[in-house]
Each structure stands twice: as structure tokens, then as C-alpha cells.
A and B are shown apart, each in its own frame.
Chain A
Amino acid sequence: MDRIPILKMGRCLLVTIQVDLLDQTALALQDDLSERIATTAAQGVLIDISALEIVDSFVGRILGSISGIAAVMGATLVVVGMQPAVAITLVELGLSLAGVRTALDVERGMSLLQADERSRGGD
């Protein structure tokens, strides 16, 4: 099974989703990220979904879970690059992704994470 690669950049973890995800791949990503956040003591996680054309309730819930798990471990999740059609569909679907921070692109996502780090007193 293909696993989504997780890159480390400073105190942040970067994930780019570029393929149509099998449910198990999404679950594996959740597991892998949880582990990597713990082992690297990451402060931020950025998931780039700019290439994702479909986000259904399963993926939506996974993103929500990752956000919650990250928060419990002291890290912030930012989801970036959501496509307009995806946003419109998610709203219609009734998924609010409450609690999940979002940004327009990777650059802004990173600034958000860095600002977060600073406001937490960094180290």
C-alpha cells in the first residue's frame, strides 16, 4: 500500500496529498502523522490539499481527527489550498471542519504556523 510521505521542515511536518486517496491510505496518514508528531516533537503540521479534487466525509473526518490529535500533542494543523469546488461541496455536504485551521497556500500556511509558534513563546 502506498503511504503518503511526510517531510520535516524545522519544527514543522509537511504533507502533500496528490492522489485520490484510498480510505486505508488516509487512515495510514493519520497513524503516521500521529507518530511523527510525537517522535519529532513537531509544533506544526501543514497538509497541502491543493491537488485534491474530492474531499468527502471520510477524508473530512480524518482531517478533523488529525487536527484534534495534533492539538492534544501540542501541535497546530493547517490545511492549505482547498479548491473552490471542494469548499462549496463541503459546505453543502454539511461538513464544517470546525477546529481545523486553513490557509490559502503553503506560504501563508507556514506564516500561520510560525506566528502560532511565536505566540506560544517558541523555543
Chain B
Amino acid sequence: MVTKPPTPRDALSGSMTLASERDIVATRRLVRELTQELKFTLVDQTKMITAASELSRNAVIYGHGGVMRWEIVTNGLQTGLRLAFEDQGPGIPDTDLALTDGWTSGTGMGIGLSGSRRLVNDFELRTVVGAGTCVTVTRWR
């Protein structure tokens, strides 16, 4: 469920619950709207939406549900979109392994995590076993 209306304007941040499969589709839709408003090129939109799809699925399936927070950011010169996917799931025991292509925790988290990293400009993974995971990605226009 979206907590802030998706059409913009002046809203520079917001969040979305990630509880079920439907939320994965909703994530794609929201990120599409946001990247379109920020006037990302079509390829950059596609990359960001695909990364968001992977990460929201990870949160729903492996993280047992979570939340996505979005924020329009600037580094002085460029405008960008930052997405943070946070869950209170089991966490990832071996992050190096998780970020290796082809790693899978059984049903295929592998390529989603490592692949997403290649689709964005900035990638940050914070995880604590038994407590949860937070993946933050940023794409600059």
C-alpha cells in the first residue's frame, strides 16, 4: 500500500509496504512513475525498475516482508533516485557469496542481488543475521 500519492510533484520522498506479490508489481509501477518524472532515459528507467523488482521480490520472499523507501536526491550536480529496501528477515550470512553471480539461497536470490548492483550507480548492502537486511540503491540521471 502506497503511503504517499504517487504523482508528484513536490513530494521528494515516500514509502511503500512490501508484503505480498502484488507489492512487487506496485513497486515497478511506482518506480516507473518516479523515474519518468525525473526524466531518466528509457534504458535507465528500465534498469532502475528492474533492480527495484529484484530487490522488492527479495524483501517479500526472503525477507518475509518489508518496506521500500524512496527519495529524490541530489549530489550538487545531478538529480537521482534513491531506493532503500528493508526487511526484518533472516539476514544474509555471507555477503561476499551473495554478491557473487549465480549464488542462490535455494530458490534464486542470487542474480537478483548481484545483478541489481550492476543496474544502478550506487549500491549498499547492510545485513545482520537474525535481524534483517537493507539494500540501498541510487541511480543518477
Contact flag A94-B115 (CB < 8 Å), given A22-B22, A22-B25, A86-B46: yes
Q: A92 on the interface (CB 8 Å rule)?
A: yes
**Residue B77 lies at the interface, judged by CB distance under 8 Å to chain A:** no
- Indicate which residue in B24, B49, B119 contacts A92 across the interface (CB closer than 8 Å): B119
Chain A binder among B11-19, B84-92, B106-114, B124-132: B106-114
Q: Does the CB pair A93–B21 fall under 8 Å?
A: no
Which chain B residues lie closer than 8 Å to A9 at the CB level? none
CA distance A27 to B24 in the complex (A): 15
Is B42 positioned at the interface, with any CB of A under 8 Å from its CB? yes
B29 CB contact (under 8 Å) in A20, A61, A86: A20
Contact residues of A: prevailing secondary structure: helix
Cross-chain contact of A54 among B21, B43, B49, B116 (Cβ < 8 A) = B49
Is A56 among interface residues, defined by CB-CB distance under 8 A? Answer: yes
From A23, A24, A85, A94, B46 is in contact (CB under 8 Å) with A85
Instruction: Return 5 A-B CB contacts under 8 Å, by A number.
Output: A53-B46, A88-B47, A92-B115, A92-B118, A94-B118
* Interfacial chain B residues near A18, Cβ < 8 Å: none
